[in-house]
Amino acid sequence: MNERLICGQVLSYAADPFAMPAAEAAQIDSAGAVLVRDGLIAAVGSAAALRADHPGAVVEDMGDALILPGFIDAHVHYPQTAIIASWGKRLIDWLNTYTFPEEMRFADPAYAAETAARYFDLTLAEGTTTMCSYCTIHPESVEAFFAEADRRGQRVAGGKTCMDRNAPEGLRDTAQSAYDDSKALIAKWHGRGRITYAVTPRFTPTSTEDQLAALGALWAEHPDCLMQTHLSEQLDEIAWVRALCPDQRDYLDTYEAHGLIGPGALFGHAIHLEDRERERLRDSGASMIHCPTSNTFIGSGLFDMAGLKAAGQIVGLATDTGGGSSFSMLRTMAAAYEVGQLRGTPLHAAQLLWLATEGSAQAMRMADRIGSLKPGMEADIIALDLASTPAIAQRAARAEDVWERVFATIMLGDDRAVRSVWIGGDKRRG
């Protein structure tokens, strides 16, 4: 029997830390361990007890490192890897200046494969083990993303980005080809290994009603897939949608009218929402994905995390590579804290880590498989060094409790804090 025992300070949650005091919802066992068997978590508990009960297990002692689930990035654009941190544009200009020219290159399977491999290398270094990615309109870009994920054994979601208007020649498909291409990709990849397909209209400005209707029909045929798109990221975007769709009640209605709402629907950004949209999102079981580094970098606005969670919304966390300015979920958590401060509602370290793990897993309808350290869950695990740099170490030395140490790593940490990564129980870093 192949057993591995990962020892350290083990993080677990008894409840959503937004629903009760965060420090009560989360527990850190300073002498804990996670037993991994055949790619799954077999047990979680005292390191001493698990060592005694499983004397044949391979022991990996991480000392006082924090053991937690791998980070889950619920909204990315892997084709934008090479253009991350490009200067000075708002959303529409960003798309036209940087995104669309880069995405044109993904008609080349070799370029798509090279970028996918680089993207997975970069995110592994940051402790990200699962992501939900937009690809491009080219099926080749989806093939490259899924093939690389399958080779590495990672749980991912993604889909062909569909656009049939307001995009350059060479980046437009049609309602029919969007349906046909996506359906063929679902047949080939959905459910293969650890892969989930996401039906992916980019957003209403680049999809006609015919295309949205076709993708809504496709999702209805494959309800176990996800659906991802963008919603209410910037005010000028919302005004554009109103001009394009004058008969719809609001931005969300442009999707709702075509069946693109419900459990498994992931709406990126969702900053400037009307009351009806908030209520409908909550009642439908759809998810909103907070992308804080992107929202500040592109100047979109401040997401209402506290208000939305208090209202019972499902919320995940994401880098939004490459509008987001970092591949790191630690940096993304730090930005979420800063956005919360600007809204007068700072987030506790336990809330930030929950958003980057179990919260994002819930948003992606995967919380029964990933996002927490419980028996039966897939063994995607990371170990965070809570004193990875001199700057962090000197702050951690003055911490009064473990949460102060964790918070210092969230605010100051980078890939050096990620000591080890296990995917499906196999060690990939450290």
Q: Distance between CA 383 and CA 373 in Å, rounded?
A: 12
Burial 355-393 (b: 16+ CB within 10 A, else e): bbbbbbbbbbbbbebbbbbeeebbbbbbbbbbbbeeebe
What mean pLDDT do residues 48-55 have? 97
pTM of the predicted protein model: 0.98
pLDDT tens per residue across span 17-43: 999 999 899 999 999 999 999 999 999
Domain boundaries, the chain: 3-70+372-429, 71-363
SS3 237: helix
Backbone angles phi, psi at 373, to 5 degrees: -100, 90
Place 376 in a pLDDT band, splitting at 50, 70 and 90: very high
Contact present, 75 and 293 (Cβ < 8 Å) = no
Supply the DSSP symbol for 238: H
pLDDT tens per residue across span 340-368: 999 999 999 999 999 999 999 999 999 99
CATH class of 3-70+372-429: mainly beta
Q: Which residues pair with 41 in a beta bridge?
A: 36
pLDDT of residue 197: 99
Residues above pLDDT 70, as percent of the chain: 100
pLDDT tens per residue across span 109-134: 999 999 999 999 999 999 999 999 99
SS3 428: strand
CATH class of 71-363: alpha beta
pLDDT of residue 87: 84
pLDDT tens per residue across span 201-244: 999 999 999 999 999 999 999 999 999 999 999 999 999 999 99
Using the predicted structure, report yes or no on whether residue 94 has a pLDDT greater than 80: no
Using the predicted structure, report yes or no on whether residue 184 has a pLDDT greater than 90: yes
Place 282 in a pLDDT band, splitting at 50, 70 and 90: very high
SS3 76: strand
What mean pLDDT do residues 280-287 have? 98
What mean pLDDT do residues 151-170 have? 97
Identical fold for domains 3-70+372-429 and 71-363, yes or no, is: no
Amino acid symbol at 235? L
Closest C-alpha among 382, 380, 428 to residue 40: 380
What mean pLDDT do residues 316-332 have? 96
Helix axes 329-342, 402-412, angle to 10 degrees: 100
Place 1 in a pLDDT band, splitting at 50, 70 and 90: low
pLDDT of residue 407: 98
Amino acid symbol at 56? G
Contact present, 108 and 140 (Cβ < 8 Å) = yes
pLDDT of residue 89: 72
